[in-house]
Amino acid sequence: MLLISKPLPLFFATVLLFVLTMSGIATEPSWPQWRGANRDGVSTESGWQASWPAEGPKRLWEAQVDRGMSSFAVVDGRVYTQGFRPGEKNEEGDITGIETVYCLDAQTGKEVWHYSYKMGLLPSHVAAANTPCVVEGRVYTMGDAADVHCLNAATGELIWSHNMAKEFGAVNVVYGYAASPLVSDGVVVVPLFTGKGQKPKGGGSYPVPGGGLIAFSAETGEVKWQNKDGASAWATLTIGMVDGKRTIVTYTGKLLLGIDPVSGATLWKDETVRGTGPWAVATIPVIVGDKIIVPTHVRGIYCVRVKDGKVETLWMREKSHWFENIAVWDGCVYAPSREAELDCIDLEMGKDLWHSRIGMPELKEGEKVDRPGDLGGREPVSHGGALMIADGKILMLNRNGFLVCAEVSAAEAKILSTAKILVDSGSGWHYHNTPTLCGGRIYMRNVKGQVVCLDVSGK
């Protein structure tokens, strides 16, 4: 078998895909990065089995990887994820760490390859929260300690890497670097913090000075540009057409930024989109037509439009989750709220259409809903907003480890199925990993590293 170590240029890859499609040769479904092809938690998959028995869909396989909050990339019959394990103590008595990139066979769950490396900084207590990005035969990863790698997707062979602590002065931030890399327009873009830093021993001061973005050539790894206007170590970037230009969009907690992916220049910025604090936690803006939906920390969800370089707020809907990831489908915004509900919001007006405790047990007498930031209790989805949508049906992983499938519309939410799939991890951070639907299979994992593949093909 011929292995191509260098990726096909984008133009030729696109032409090849077109030829294969027109000739009737099937191409495998893919979910190449965090939150899918468009980074919005929306899958185009249809015809999958949304109703299943109490024990859940048929289990195709189960595997074990190192711990972490990483989700999955699924491309060409391979499943990619990341994990962390403690290393040795350094001279100061701090535990170092080892991160691993895994490639599993999508049919069997057997390991195809893994690539491990010593972390360039101290690990945080939520290490390996990043998800790989697979583009044109390469796997791009960022780790908890700001290590960036480019690997051959077929073999796991290292193509290039950066220890950003040694090379660019990256410092530890509390909870580590949790953003997943953005790979587009020939560059790999990740956050870089070079301020005072802090040891990431569980919690700490959130604001860290010196944040910005750095872009590497996807081909060679050389630095292409840096932007020092702001970044969040925990929030992933998105990209799309904004104001007539292809634009990287990032929300830092202090700023909503639009950046040129080729030059790294700031195209526009806005300081009015703000949460309750100057940070953005495990969130990503969603571009829908000429609108950008921006979930902020606890305060609420903004809908903005950019025209001629100016940002206009169309609506702001108060109330959002501690960690907020949303999905937009058929004119509705679906979002977990801090009041232990799933909310449906009208995309055009920002009006609440309904709230539901969908997928959660009924409250006991005297039991209260969760407080903002509460790590225990009852939430409709994971504290990390672990939900996606396909064919008008939401898949979400709730705090108690139940996979919930619900049919949603502007009128109502209807539970189709629930099942306890994963075991408890023995910590307060059980289920932050978003379930991934791809090719008639649901891929799931918990923080402890249990990976389960479910058959929902209906065959």
For the chain, the domain total comes to 1
Is there a domain that residue 195 lies in?
A: yes
* Domain containing residue 174: CATH number: 2.40.128.630
Other beta carbons less than 10 A from residue 318's beta carbon: 10
The answer to whether 306 and 292 are in contact (CB under 8 A) is yes
Q: What is the dihedral of CA 365, 369, 373, 377, to 10 degrees?
A: 40
CA pair distance 194, 214, nearest whole angstrom: 12
Is there a domain that residue 183 lies in?
A: yes
Report how far apart, in Å, the C-alpha atoms of 378 and of each of 305, 325, 337, 341, 426 are.
35, 18, 12, 9, 16
The range of the structural domain enclosing residue 205 comes to: 72-234
Is there a domain that residue 180 lies in?
A: yes
In the Cβ-directed half-sphere of 151, how many Cα atoms lie within 13 Å? 27
pLDDT tens track, the chain, 459 positions: 333 333 334 444 444 444 443 434 446 789 999 999 999 999 999 999 999 998 999 999 999 999 998 999 999 999 999 999 998 888 777 778 999 999 999 999 999 999 999 999 888 877 789 999 999 999 999 999 999 999 999 999 999 999 999 999 999 888 889 999 999 999 999 999 987 766 655 544 555 666 899 999 999 999 999 999 999 998 899 999 999 999 999 999 889 999 999 999 999 999 999 887 777 877 899 999 999 999 988 788 999 999 999 999 999 998 776 667 899 999 999 988 755 578 899 999 999 999 887 655 555 676 655 433 333 334 444 444 578 999 999 998 876 678 889 999 999 999 899 898 988 765 555 567 889 999 999 999 988 899 999 999 988
Region of residue 44 (left: phi > 0; alpha: psi -120 to 50; beta: else): alpha
Q: Tell me the backbone φ, ψ of residue 379, rounded to 5 degrees.
A: -130, 150
Is there a domain that residue 422 lies in?
A: no
CA pair distance 338, 211, nearest whole angstrom: 28
CA pair distance 375, 365, nearest whole angstrom: 21
Is there a domain that residue 135 lies in?
A: yes
Is there a domain that residue 305 lies in?
A: no
Report the pLDDT value the prediction gives residue 360, as an integer from 0 to 100.
57
Is there a domain that residue 205 lies in?
A: yes
Is there a domain that residue 368 lies in?
A: no
